Amino acid sequence: MADTSRRSTAKESQGSMAESHGVWLSRLEEQSRKKQERFMDGISKRLGHPRMTQPPKHPYRGAPDFWRGLDWSPEEKIQGFTENFLSVGGHVARLQGMEEASAFIAAKAAEMGAKYLVRQDEPALAALGLEEALPGVQINVWNSDSEREWKALAAGADFGVVQADHAVAYTGSVTVLSSKEKGRSVSLLPTVLFIVIPVERLKTRLGEVLIGLDEGGREALPAGVHFITGPSRSSDIENDLTIGVHGPGIVYALLVG
């Protein structure tokens, strides 16, 4: 009888504590809501108009029609991309073909004393013939040897060479998709980055790139989608602009074709 009485008393005590805890939480929630109301009322008063209690209507979704219809000519795209890429500290070279692109990279290697280069495993980049154009530079093709530490190699590379999947003239941005043959480290870790951009891949607006990625569906998305707009820039420390903290400090966009 004594054990039964103690168990009954314990259950009653736990029930009372649970009920008190629930009342306490409800009181805290009510106090919080009142503080929120006073806070929002104060903002409304300072702005000089009544508080909005219903979400505003949005009759239009997405970009307006005039923006979706914006489409520059090929020369306008080249000019717009060049101006915008230069404005954020990047470099642009207008080249007629892969031979000129290869000669440009070779000239920069001689100028900067480059010793190590890593590139994506892309047929178009193989056409550059960098092995012949840069005899004194060690050329490394991403993921071509499973025994090598490719991230460490990219981090120690003087040059990285990638091909753009898309480029956006209006923002001066380049899109690079990553895959097994196109490691993201090639564009993120070397000191100097060269982006080969076939001019036919230039778009006017960023939306043209995003819509294509969206329409492909989740299954078609690559391992990574990287938007590059000039060299790495950071102002995290006391708003002091620093170049090359989180990626290449020098970026060349090579418009080819």
Domain that holds residue 40: 1-56
CATH number for the domain that contains residue 220: 3.40.50.10420
Q: Is the model's pLDDT at 237 over the cut of 90?
A: no
Q: Is the model's pLDDT at 111 over the cut of 60?
A: yes
Token pair 């903290």 in the structure block, residue: 245
pLDDT at 251: 95
Domain identity same for 122 and 202? yes
Domain identity same for 96 and 129? yes
Domain identity same for 89 and 174? yes
pLDDT at 219: 86
Q: Which tens digit of pLDDT belongs to each residue from 16-28?
A: 555 687 888 888 8
129 part of a folded domain: yes
Domain identity same for 80 and 184? yes
β-partners of residue 118 are 140, 160
Tally of domains within the chain: 2
Handedness of CA 136, 142, 143, 144 (dihedral sign): negative
62 part of a folded domain: no
1 part of a folded domain: yes
For the record, the structure tokens of 129 come out as 């013939």
Domain identity same for 139 and 250? yes
100-106: average pLDDT: 96
Tell me the Ramachandran region of residue 48: left when phi exceeds 0, alpha when psi lies from -120 to 50, beta otherwise: left
Q: Is the model's pLDDT at 194 over the cut of 60?
A: yes
Domain identity same for 240 and 162? yes
Distance between CA 184 and CA 178 in Å, rounded? 5
Residue 218 confidence class, pLDDT cut points 50, 70, 90: confident
Residue 239 confidence class, pLDDT cut points 50, 70, 90: low
Residue 162 confidence class, pLDDT cut points 50, 70, 90: very high
Distance between CA 54 and CA 181 in Å, rounded? 51
- 250 within 8 A of 88, measured Cβ to Cβ: no
64 part of a folded domain: no
67 part of a folded domain: no
What's the farthest any 2 CA atoms get from each other in the chain?
99
Domain identity same for 89 and 48? no
pTM of the model: 0.75
- 109 within 8 A of 101, measured Cβ to Cβ: no
pLDDT at 139: 95
Q: Is the model's pLDDT at 56 over the cut of 90?
A: no
Domain identity same for 157 and 46? no
144 part of a folded domain: yes
Domain identity same for 19 and 97? no
For the record, the structure tokens of 207 come out as 């939306």
Domain identity same for 80 and 123? yes
